[in-house]
Amino acid sequence: MESTKNKSRALFEKCIGALIFLNILHQIVSSMDLMEYQNILAYGDLFYQVSMVIFLGELIYRFFIEKQLGFLNTVDSLVLINFYFIGILDLRIFRLFRFFDIFSRTRILLPSNTLFKTIHVQRHSLLGSLFLVLSVLLLFSTIMYFVEREAQPDKFGSIPLAIWWGMETLTTVGYGDVHPITPLGKVLGTLTMLLGIGMFALPAAILGSAYYEEMQKRNFLVTFEAILEVPLFEELPIKALSKINEKLDAVLLPPNEAVFEKGEEADSMYIIESGRARVELENPIVLEPGDYFGEMGLINNNPRNATITTLEEVKLLQLKKEDLEELFDEHPVLFQAIEAKLDAINS
């Protein structure tokens, strides 16, 4: 029953995500001048109206389930309030936040989800580098104002006007609408361009290195040392460990995340490399590094008989069903070890 409810909710979320995507696409198309397709666009307006009714029902459902406002519910509320009571602008584009939240754990959007986390972790370093860039911008713009204001009062007649030139130059965009004409101004402009390359490379380097570390952490390498520490594999030969190393997939889960739910189809077993997880039973069981779970459903071809939840950030080694069966055929000792564990549980 719990599994069916979770599956229904996941399907509901994906349908809402697809509807949000179609609405954003409709908003983009409706902004174009397509007078010759007025008959078709009329159906688009109907789609818009029906979608907003569905979104209203979705928001009421979310308030009922979550029982809190939160950032996403606030954004969704503003979009609906604008549609029903104000109607000045079409704000559906802001539902992109909900779209990203719904699909944040898919393979496609997982890197972007990691990027948002990286920006949050490095926010102080990024703000520090931004303050440095703004300080340099203000300094060089003010000096250029002193140098060029008499030669070009219409372009450098005030510090704000000079800041526009400074922004163009530091970002190396160079629209060409504003540029120094005095010899000293040209020298200063050259220095500003050279400095701009380094200044804007600084936050990019901070973000890039932190993002790489986060992705490495998420997609950590499975090493022989990690496999050797697992009691299940300690009696296998090196050749077998090499094959297991190729078949194991690394999984990193945050705290309070369900590895799988009770009643789901068993398709993999898991080995805990680090962190702790809990078997949600009447008397919960805490699993430590080196413990493995999920094998019972694979051997007996039964659905999951319990929900497994992480207690902290957990690194798991995932072994899929077909790979486990292949290892059983090649190394019966592995099957015997799992059978021994099952017999101990049953007794």
Q: Read off the CATH number of the domain in which 65 is found.
A: 1.20.120
- Of 74, 103, 132, at which residue does a domain stop? 103
Whether 111 maps to a domain, the answer reads: no
Whether 246 maps to a domain, the answer reads: yes
Q: Higher model confidence: residue 93 or residue 300?
A: 93
Residue 54 confidence (pLDDT) above 90: yes
Please tell me the total count of domains within the chain.
Answer: 3
* Residue closest to 91 by CA, chosen among 27, 19, 44, 17: 27
Per-residue confidence band for 1, with pLDDT thresholds at 50, 70 and 90: very low
SS3 77: helix
185 & 238 share domain: no
- Of 152, 187, 218, at which residue does a domain stop? 218
- Of 40, 74, 103, at which residue does a domain stop? 103
What's the pLDDT at 248?
77
Q: What would the pLDDT profile of 115-147 be if each residue is shown by its tens digit?
A: 777 787 788 888 888 888 888 889 999 999 999
Q: Which domain holds residue 10?
A: 2-103
Per-residue confidence band for 315, with pLDDT thresholds at 50, 70 and 90: confident
Element (H, E) at 274: strand 268-274
118 Cβ contact list (under 8 Å, min separation 6): 207, 210, 211, 214
* DSSP character at residue 93: G
Q: Read off the CATH number of the domain in which 268 is found.
A: 2.60.120.10
What rounded mean pLDDT belongs to the chain? 80
Q: What would the pLDDT profile of 161-186 be if each residue is shown by its tens digit?
A: 889 888 888 877 767 778 888 989 88
Residue 15 CA to residue 290 CA, distance in Å, equals 39
134 & 83 share domain: no
88 & 132 share domain: no
Q: How many CB atoms are located within 10 Å of the residue 241 CB?
A: 15
What's the pLDDT at 22?
92
Least confident segment among 56-70, 193-207, 261-275, 276-290: 193-207
Whether 174 maps to a domain, the answer reads: yes
User: 158 — alpha (psi -120 to 50), left (phi > 0) or beta?
Assistant: beta
Per-residue confidence band for 19, with pLDDT thresholds at 50, 70 and 90: very high
187 & 137 share domain: yes
* Residue closest to 272 by CA, chosen among 292, 295, 252: 292
300 & 341 share domain: yes
Whether 114 maps to a domain, the answer reads: no
Mean pLDDT on 289-314:
84
Whether 109 maps to a domain, the answer reads: no
62 & 27 share domain: yes
Residue 112 confidence (pLDDT) above 60: yes
Residue 3 confidence (pLDDT) above 60: no
Whether 80 maps to a domain, the answer reads: yes
Residue 331 confidence (pLDDT) above 90: no
65 & 48 share domain: yes
End-to-end CA distance of the chain: 28
What's the pLDDT at 106?
58
Q: Scanning the structure block, which residue is given the tokens 């189809």? A: 265
Contact 288, 276 (CB under 8 A): yes
161 & 228 share domain: no
Mean pLDDT on 104-118:
65
Whether 118 maps to a domain, the answer reads: no
Q: What pTM was estimated for this model as a whole? A: 0.52
Residue 67 CA to residue 64 CA, distance in Å, equals 6
Q: How many residues does the chain have?
A: 347
342 & 239 share domain: yes
Residue 206 CA to residue 218 CA, distance in Å, equals 18
295 & 252 share domain: yes
197 & 250 share domain: no
Q: Read off the CATH number of the domain in which 180 is found.
A: 1.10.287.70
Whether 317 maps to a domain, the answer reads: yes
What's the pLDDT at 322?
82
Q: Scanning the structure block, which residue is given the tokens 């599994």? A: 3
Q: Higher model confidence: residue 218 or residue 176?
A: 176
Residue 345's identity, in one-letter code, is I
Q: How many CB atoms are located within 10 Å of the residue 292 CB?
A: 20
What's the pLDDT at 252?
81
